[in-house]
């Protein structure tokens, strides 16, 4: 469970181009749910996502992860929390070019120093789960957008996180691929993962798999609907 | 990388174990003929026999000056050129 | 511990892979780096080997030579000096030596003409005969059908039988030698019968050398004594100053290299910066990123160092320092074709490693530290 209390995020503080990205946000995200942050660009949804994923710290306010306050932890501890708790699927996937799909998936586990055979096996299993095992040895820059996204999702799952965080996951996908992405999300939810994503794509926030849609505008939450199914 | 390591070790071993490459030959000749210097540079007498050069012949104007043969800059002025006269003059002064 | 090691292995693995991704950049870096090491190591190995060689060889040089100095110049020694020197206690033998220089205007080469000692049974030379050193022998212009023709300063051409060559292995000390008989030598240079070039002293007890030298310089004014330790000291310092000069010049190129490294290795491209952000976002610690970059610097510099060292060794000891030759041979026509006995000084190599590998690795790490401690949320933007 993630609890956010009165969080503000200001960029370029004390400078002329000061931006108040988030204003007084309070939010609670339950485990096992699929949550979508919706809103136009510049509404602060991506910023909120980085705070939830412990990629950045709020300017003020507090964030709790399973009852533990994480917003004031130093970077070193945040890294560990990130590694164990969150898996990220970035908007542009952010796969490392020049490496194979398999290596990209194994990457998050390198600092753990696990045995190589087991690591490889897990990574191949994840790629198989995403139906992309056939391209495991292909360099990522040769993959199509949909394939790259699946590799990115497999990478996000490598360290078996509780939360999967996705930033605009369908921005570059056509309808068919969006449908397939939603199927993957469903699978993740069945596995007990919580999925948090940003999107301004109606196909996402109207999907069956989504439990809750939080709407944002100008750095504030303007609507919060829990979808009853 | 591993190959490089092996090469480096081989070189080290070679350096420590290889024969004298005629060193004993040369040493013998030095003894027989009473040679005093290496024949590295033959263009001037003070570079051919730096240890035997007279006081300033090697470095005509000043013991530390460069001269116009390139090898003049390769070899340092013989150290004894700086001491002997001073040493002998102090010896004389003692008497 | 096991965990730590396998973690480092992963990081190293990843480093190798990511280096292969930037082949050109890393290759250029590697080549420049390795060239710097190669040149430095060649100079160091060569200088050290020559000094070691000189020290080993000149242990057999005469204990002392006595020279006559007149008006600050080397002068001929009179025969009369030999007897009193022989009488000095501790002197086993004082012997007049004859040697001199001859510039051959035809070949524009300098030879050292020398009369072997009467005790030297292996090099006994009758008038009209000569033994030549390997450098002289190699110069085909000089030798025609076993005859050596020398043009004396005055008088007709002197024709000598070449009865033997000195061992080519001894070129380092004998390349330009022409051994001839005493009568021929005196005739060639028009030298009076009662003078010698200098006097070689054989001294029985090494500890007495200093006392004997003092005795000679005070008793026989105008003489100068060069002891074997003087000779050894001369050769200890040979090349050191050129080496220093070369290193000083190289200092500029090393400095340029450091700037280059700073630019290439540490000046992070946007791409690398993004990658560090991604790695941090997916759970790599700052320490992991640094360790990875450490491996990158370490692999490049250790590889360049080892390769440079190995090639420098081959260059100096198997290819006779061919690339340094233009610097070394100077204006000589005759220069020794010599093979140095390999010599490796561990301290020297350690010094070289310390002054190249360590700064490189440090130069690559520092700026990455700055990139690695920034917040990883940049990848989301």
pLDDT at C248: 67
pLDDT at A186: 92
Cα gap C118→C200, rounded to integer Å? 13
pLDDT at residue B2 above 50?
yes
Residue among C2, C288, C379 minimizing CB distance to A94: C379
pLDDT at residue B4 above 90?
no
pLDDT at B61: 46
Q: Return the minimum-mean-pLDDT range out of A118-122, B46-50, B60-64, C36-40.
A: B60-64
pLDDT at B84: 47
C-alpha closest to that of A205 among A30, A35, A26 = A35
List the single residue in A with minimal CA-CA distance to C11.
A110
Residue B86 lies inside a defined structural domain of this protein: no
Q: Strand, coil or helix: what is A175?
A: helix
Residue C227 lies inside a defined structural domain of this protein: no
C-alpha closest to that of A110 among C279, C2, C21 = C279
Cα gap C259→C266, rounded to integer Å? 10
Instruction: Give the 3-state DSSP-derived string for C268-323, with helices as H, strands as E and coil as C.
Output: CCHHHHHHHHHHHHCCCCHHHHHHHHHHHHHHHHHHHHHHHHHHHHHHHHCCCCCC
Cα gap C177→C185, rounded to integer Å? 13
Q: What does residue C139 show for φ and ψ, rounded to 5 degrees?
A: -85, 95
pLDDT digits (tens, 9 = 90+) for C74-87: 889 999 999 999 99
Residues C31 and C87 placed together within one structural domain of the fold: no
Helix (H) / strand (E) containing C169? none
Residue B38 lies inside a defined structural domain of this protein: yes
Helix (H) / strand (E) containing C347? helix C346-372
Cα gap A97→A143, rounded to integer Å? 11
Q: What does residue C74 show for φ and ψ, rounded to 5 degrees?
A: -65, 130
Q: Using CB atoms within 10 Å of the CB of residue C91, give its burial: 0 to 12 exposed, 13 to 18 middle, 19+ buried.
A: buried
Q: Taking the CA of residue C41 as centre, how many other CA atoms within 13 Å lie in the half-sphere pointing to its CB?
A: 30
- Please list every residue in chain C whose beta carbon sits closer than 8 Å to the beta carbon of residue A55: 281, 375-377, 379-380
pLDDT at C241: 63
Residues C53 and C89 placed together within one structural domain of the fold: no
pLDDT digits (tens, 9 = 90+) for C245-286: 666 666 777 777 777 766 665 556 777 778 888 888 888 888
Tally Cβ neighbours within 10 Å of residue A56: 20
Residues C281 and C362 placed together within one structural domain of the fold: yes
Question: Read out DSSP for B18-63?
Answer: S--TTHHHHHHHHHHHT--S--S--SSHHHHSTTT--TTTTTSS-T
Question: Between A34 and B63, where is the model more confident?
Answer: A34
Residue C159 lies inside a defined structural domain of this protein: yes
pLDDT at B50: 79
Residue among A90, A112, A113 minimizing CB distance to C379: A90
Q: Would residue C71 be called left, alpha or beta, if left means φ above 0 and alpha means ψ between -120 and 50 degrees? A: left
Residue C361 lies inside a defined structural domain of this protein: yes
Tell me whether residues C332 and B41 touch, CB distance under 8 A. Answer: yes
Question: Between C334 and C37, where is the model more confident?
Answer: C37
Cα gap A194→A188, rounded to integer Å? 8
Cα gap C176→C135, rounded to integer Å? 5
Domain tally, chain B: 1
Q: Do chains A and B touch (3 or more CB pairs under 8 A)?
A: no
Which residue, of C163, C196, C229, is where some domain finishes?
C196
Judged by a CB distance cut-off of 8 A, whether residue B11 touches chain C is: yes
pLDDT at residue B87 above 60?
no
Residue B46 lies inside a defined structural domain of this protein: yes
Residues C129 and C183 placed together within one structural domain of the fold: yes
The answer to whether C102 touches C113, Cβ cutoff 8 Å, is: yes
The answer to whether A167 touches A197, Cβ cutoff 8 Å, is: yes
Residue B30 lies inside a defined structural domain of this protein: yes
pLDDT digits (tens, 9 = 90+) for C1-15: 667 888 888 888 888
pLDDT at A60: 92
Helix (H) / strand (E) containing A126? helix A116-129
Residue B32 lies inside a defined structural domain of this protein: yes
Pairing mode, if any, of strands A60-65 and A2-11? antiparallel
Residues C29 and C90 placed together within one structural domain of the fold: no
Q: What is the CATH number of the domain that holds A35?
A: 3.40.50.300
Residue C210 lies inside a defined structural domain of this protein: no
Partners of C147 in the β-ladder: C144, C161
- Please list every residue in chain C whose beta carbon sits closer than 8 Å to the beta carbon of residue B21: 169, 339-342
Residue B39 lies inside a defined structural domain of this protein: yes
Cα gap C58→B36, rounded to integer Å? 7
The answer to whether C71 touches C288, Cβ cutoff 8 Å, is: no
Cα gap C260→A89, rounded to integer Å? 37
Local structure of residue C339 (DSSP, 8 states) = -
Residue B4 lies inside a defined structural domain of this protein: no
Per this entry, what is the length of chain C?
381
The answer to whether C85 touches C196, Cβ cutoff 8 Å, is: no
- Expressed as residue numbers, the domain containing B42 is 26-79
pLDDT at residue B88 above 50?
no
C-alpha closest to that of A42 among A222, A223, A220 = A220
A partners (3+ CB pairs within 8 A) are: C
Local structure of residue A158 (DSSP, 8 states) = T
Residue among A46, A103, A155 minimizing CB distance to C282: A155
Partners of C201 in the β-ladder: C64, C94
Judged by a CB distance cut-off of 8 A, whether residue B6 touches chain C is: no
Question: Between C59 and C248, where is the model more confident?
Answer: C59
Query: What ipTM does the predicted assembly reach?
Result: 0.87
- Expressed as residue numbers, the domain containing C51 is 2-57+237-380
CA C255 to chain centre: 24
pLDDT at A197: 92
Judged by a CB distance cut-off of 8 A, whether residue B75 touches chain C is: yes
User: Could you tell me which residues come within 8 angstroms of residue A79 by beta carbon, excluding any fewer than 6 positions away?
Assistant: C280, C283, C284, C285, C286
Which residue, of C196, C223, C247, is where some domain finishes?
C196
List the single residue in A with minimal CA-CA distance to C1.
A113
Q: Strand, coil or helix: what is A208?
A: coil
Mean pLDDT of C148-173: 85
pLDDT at C108: 72
Residues 34-73 on B with a CB inside 8 Å of C are 34-45, 47-57, 69-71, 73
User: Could you tell me which residues come within 8 angstroms of residue C377 by beta carbon, excluding any fewer than 6 positions away?
Assistant: A50, A55, A56, C281
pLDDT at A171: 84
- Please list every residue in chain A whose beta carbon sits closer than 8 Å to the beta carbon of residue C3: 112-113
Domain tally, chain C: 2
Partners of C200 in the β-ladder: C65, C95
Q: Using CB atoms within 10 Å of the CB of residue C29, give its burial: 0 to 12 exposed, 13 to 18 middle, 19+ buried.
A: buried
Cα gap C216→C225, rounded to integer Å? 8
pLDDT at residue C310 above 50?
yes
The size of the B-C interface in CB pairs under 8 A is 231
Cα gap A153→A46, rounded to integer Å? 18
Q: What is the CATH number of the domain that holds C188?
A: 2.40.40
Which candidate in B2, B5, B15, B87 is best for mutational testing of the C interface (most C CBs within 10 A)? B15
pLDDT at B90: 43
- Expressed as residue numbers, the domain containing A65 is 2-226
Cα gap A96→C277, rounded to integer Å? 11
Helix (H) / strand (E) containing A51? helix A45-52
Partners of C236 in the β-ladder: none
pLDDT at B82: 54
The answer to whether C110 touches C103, Cβ cutoff 8 Å, is: yes
CA-to-CA separations, C348 to A3, A22, C41, in angstroms, rounded: 62, 61, 9
Per-residue pLDDT of chain A (229 residues), as tens digits, is 899 999 999 988 888 888 888 999 999 998 889 999 998 888 889 899 999 998 888 999 999 999 999 988 888 888 888 888 999 998 888 898 888 999 999 989 888 888 888 889 999 999 998 889 999 899 988 998 889 999 999 999 999 999 999 998 888 788 898 999 999 999 999 989 999 999 888 888 888 889 999 999 998 999 888 886 5
Question: Read out DSSP for C214-268?
Answer: HHHHHHSTTEEEEEHHHHHHHHHSTTHHHHHHHHHHHHHHHHHHHHHHIIIIIS-
Per this entry, what is the length of chain B?
95
Q: Which residue has the tokens 């993959």?
A: A143
User: Could you tell me which residues come within 8 angstroms of residue A15 by beta carbon, excluding any fewer than 6 positions away?
Assistant: none
| Per-residue tokens: C237 | 């310092």
The answer to whether A64 touches A46, Cβ cutoff 8 Å, is: no
Cα gap C201→B76, rounded to integer Å? 25
Cα gap B23→B1, rounded to integer Å? 35
Residues C184 and C250 placed together within one structural domain of the fold: no
- Please list every residue in chain B whose beta carbon sits closer than 8 Å to the beta carbon of residue C301: none
Q: Which residue has the tokens 């997916």?
A: C282
Q: Return the minimum-mean-pLDDT range out of A108-117, C136-145, C353-362.
A: C136-145
Tally Cβ neighbours within 10 Å of residue B75: 23
Per this entry, what is the length of chain A?
229
pLDDT at B67: 55
Tell me whether residues B38 and C50 touch, CB distance under 8 A. Answer: yes
Distance from CA of C274 to the nearest CA of A (A): 9
Residues C257 and C286 placed together within one structural domain of the fold: yes
Residue among B22, B69, B79 minimizing CB distance to C234: B79
pLDDT at B92: 43
pLDDT at B85: 42
Residue B58 lies inside a defined structural domain of this protein: yes
Residues C100 and C51 placed together within one structural domain of the fold: no
At what angle are helices A145-157 and A116-129 packed, to 10 degrees?
130
pLDDT at residue C181 above 90?
yes
């Amino acid at each position: 469970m993630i609890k956010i209390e009165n969080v503000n995020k200001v960029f370029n503080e004390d400078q002329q181009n000061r931006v108040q990205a988030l204003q007084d946000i309070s939010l609670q995200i339950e485990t096992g749910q699929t949550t979508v942050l919706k809103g136009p660009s510049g509404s602060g949804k991506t910023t909120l996502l980085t705070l939830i994923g412990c990629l950045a710290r709020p300017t003020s306010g507090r964030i709790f992860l399973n009852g533990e306050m994480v917003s004031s932890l130093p970077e070193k501890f945040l890294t560990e929390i990130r590694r164990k708790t969150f898996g990220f699927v970035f908007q542009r996937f952010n796969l490392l070019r020049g490496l194979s799909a398999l290596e990209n998936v194994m990457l998050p586990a390198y600092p753990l120093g696990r045995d190589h055979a087991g690591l490889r096996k897990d990574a191949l299993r994840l790629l198989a789960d995403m139906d992309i095992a056939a391209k495991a040895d292909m360099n990522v820059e040769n993959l199509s957008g949909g394939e790259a996204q699946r590799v990115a999702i497999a990478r996000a799952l490598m360290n078996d996180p509780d939360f999967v965080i996705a930033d605009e996951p369908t921005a570059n996908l056509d309808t068919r691929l969006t449908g397939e992405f939603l199927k993957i999300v469903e699978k993740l939810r069945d596995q007990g993962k919580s999925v948090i994503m940003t999107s301004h794509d109606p196909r996402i926030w109207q999907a069956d798999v989504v439990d809750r849609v939080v709407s944002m505008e100008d750095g504030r939450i303007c609507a919060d609907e829990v979808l009853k199914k | 990388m591993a190959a490089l390591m092996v090469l480096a070790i081989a070189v080290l071993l070679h350096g420590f174990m290889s024969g004298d490459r005629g060193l004993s030959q040369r040493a013998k000749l030095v003894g027989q003929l009473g040679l005093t210097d290496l024949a590295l540079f033959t263009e001037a007498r003070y570079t051919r026999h730096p240890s035997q050069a007279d006081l300033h012949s090697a470095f005509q104007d000043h013991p530390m000056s460069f001269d116009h043969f390139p090898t003049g800059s390769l070899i340092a002025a013989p150290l004894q050129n700086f001491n002997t006269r001073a040493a002998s003059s102090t010896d004389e002064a003692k008497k | 511990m096991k965990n730590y090691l396998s973690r480092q292995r992963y990081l190293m693995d990843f480093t190798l892979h990511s280096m292969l991704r930037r082949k050109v950049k890393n290759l250029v870096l590697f080549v420049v780096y390795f060239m710097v090491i190669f040149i430095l190591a060649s100079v160091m190995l060569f200088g050290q080997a020559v000094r070691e060689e000189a020290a080993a060889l000149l242990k057999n040089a005469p204990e002392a030579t006595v020279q006559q100095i007149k008006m600050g110049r080397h002068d001929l020694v009179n025969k009369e000096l030999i007897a009193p020197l022989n009488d000095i206690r501790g002197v086993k033998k004082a012997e007049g030596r004859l040697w001199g220089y001859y510039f051959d205007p035809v070949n524009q080469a300098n030879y050292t003409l020398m009369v072997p000692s009467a005790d030297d049974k292996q090099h006994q030379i009758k008038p009209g005969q000569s033994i030549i050193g390997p450098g002289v022998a190699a110069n085909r212009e000089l030798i025609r059908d076993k005859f050596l023709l020398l043009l004396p300063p005055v008088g007709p051409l002197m024709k000598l039988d070449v009865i033997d060559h000195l061992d080519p292995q001894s070129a380092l000390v004998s390349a330009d030698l022409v051994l001839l008989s005493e009568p021929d030598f005196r005739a060639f240079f028009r030298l009076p019968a009662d003078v010698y070039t200098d006097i070689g002293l054989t001294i029985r007890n090494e500890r007495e050398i200093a006392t004997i030298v003092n005795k000679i310089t005070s008793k026989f004014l105008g003489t100068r004594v060069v002891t074997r330790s003087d000779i050894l000291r001369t050769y200890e310092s040979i090349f050191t100053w050129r080496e220093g000069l070369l290193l000083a010049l190289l200092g500029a190129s090393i400095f340029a290299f450091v700037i280059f490294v700073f630019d290439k290795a540490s000046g992070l491209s946007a791409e690398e910066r993004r990658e560090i952000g991604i790695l941090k976002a997916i759970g790599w610690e700052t320490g992991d990123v640094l360790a990875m970059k450490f491996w990158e610097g370490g692999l490049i510099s250790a590889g360049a160092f080892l390769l440079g060292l190995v090639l420098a060794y081959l260059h100096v000891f198997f290819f006779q320092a061919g690339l340094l030759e233009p610097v070394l041979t100077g204006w000589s026509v005759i220069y020794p074709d010599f093979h140095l006995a390999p010599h490796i000084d561990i301290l020297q190599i350690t010094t070289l490693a310390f002054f190249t590998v360590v700064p490189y690795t440090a130069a690559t790490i520092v700026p990455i530290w700055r990139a690695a401690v920034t917040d990883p949320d940049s990848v989301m933007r």
